[in-house]
A = this chain, B = another copy of it.
Amino acid sequence: MMNIERDFYMSKGEGESSYAKNSRRPVIVISETRPVIEKSVKEVYAALLPKTMVVADLGCSSGPNTLIFVSNVINAIANHSSKLGDQGGHVEVQFFLNDLPGTDFNQLFRSLEQFKRSAEMDGKGDTLPPYYVSGVPDSYYTRLFPRRSVHLFHSSYCLHWRSQVPEGLEGKREVYLNGESMYIDNNTPPPVVKLFQEQFRKDFSLFLRLRHEELVFGGQMVLTFLGRKDEDVYTGDLNHLFGLLSQSLQSLVAKGLVEKEKVSSFNLPAYGPSVGEVVASVKESGAFDVAHIKLFEQNWDPYDDSEGDGMLDSARSSVNAAKCIRSVMESLVASHFGEHMLDALFEEYTRRVAGHLEKEKTKFTVVVLALKKI
């Protein structure tokens, strides 16, 4: 059975197929989330004037993105504290970078060293608040911090991952409720869809409850994750994304590279909720007010920053997209099927993504959400 804490991590190291090399987030993401983060930082800071501002990035991974976040927060505090004069000028910032224990923290800490050196070389050292960084290796579906000790939580691109494969979907031997699908597609029966949705509600409400305990009064959270544009659960880009991967697995069955039963027993610990589902869960928690919620879109190809619907080069984009998805999915796939089939699977997948992108420039739907502790 799948063990998320053991089996799931972004591809390690700094090589061509590592997550660190395949985690380019388009400009559009920063332009959408940065103002939300800045607003939360300023509001929390102005309300509490903490001597030490404690900030946690949950699901930071080993890529450089978490350091862009660190940099944005430091700069936002510096800008705002200088406006408030001396009293604010002495703030210090303590960052906690969190991810599952399987994460390559050595790689993360090496990139942190580079980050510090480059910040020093920029000569910004004097005007920025002192900051301290530590790593927290545990699941954010458990308590990570002491009560009321954190001022700001951030989580980017991971809350679409569930704590486990939907409960009820695994366990009964040789009865595979979801056919050969790994996520939700047109063949997925409504009771199975409900299992995916129920797992989202359970996980998300647990997440909100845990963070509520850890936040100080006046604390906030900024969460970014993959979601769904349409309330209809049978549509959406994640359905396409994982549908193509299911089809790729099936073609490996036809080639004798993978057992059919292995494909039937493979389901993803993932769910992309709609805005309606997210808001309903937050209200139900009674723990947070929604300060901001918005959808934005992002091209499958992380190197394609264009905003239109026209596809410039679907062959190249499919290679870029498939490499990026492989760096995220590889550990889960390998723990279920073994490593021998990875290359064949992602070659097949790249072909199918190319075919899909020729017809339609599918985009990820991203939810950005700011919450205030009640």
List residues of A whose CB falls within 8 A of some B CB.
51-52, 92, 94, 96, 101, 104-106, 109-110, 112-113, 130, 132-137, 143-147, 149
Contact = CB atoms under 8 A, between A and B. Distances in A.
Contact of A145 (B110, B132, B145, B149): B132
A137 B113 CA distance: 9
A144 B130 CA distance: 10
Contacts of A104: 106
**Do most interface residues of chain A lie in helix, strand or loop, or is the interface mixed?**
mixed
A106 B137 CA distance: 9
Nearest to A6: B113
Given A112-B137, A134-B136, A147 B106 contact: no
Contact of A146 (B94, B112, B137): B94
Contacts of A137: 109, 112-113, 133-135
A147 B92 contact: yes
A113 B136 CA distance: 12
Contact of A143 (B101, B105, B130, B149): B130
Nearest to A56: B134
Given A101-B109, A132-B143, 9 more contacts: A92-B147, A94-B145, A105-B105, A105-B135, A112-B137, A130-B143, A132-B145, A134-B135, A134-B136
A110 B105 CA distance: 11
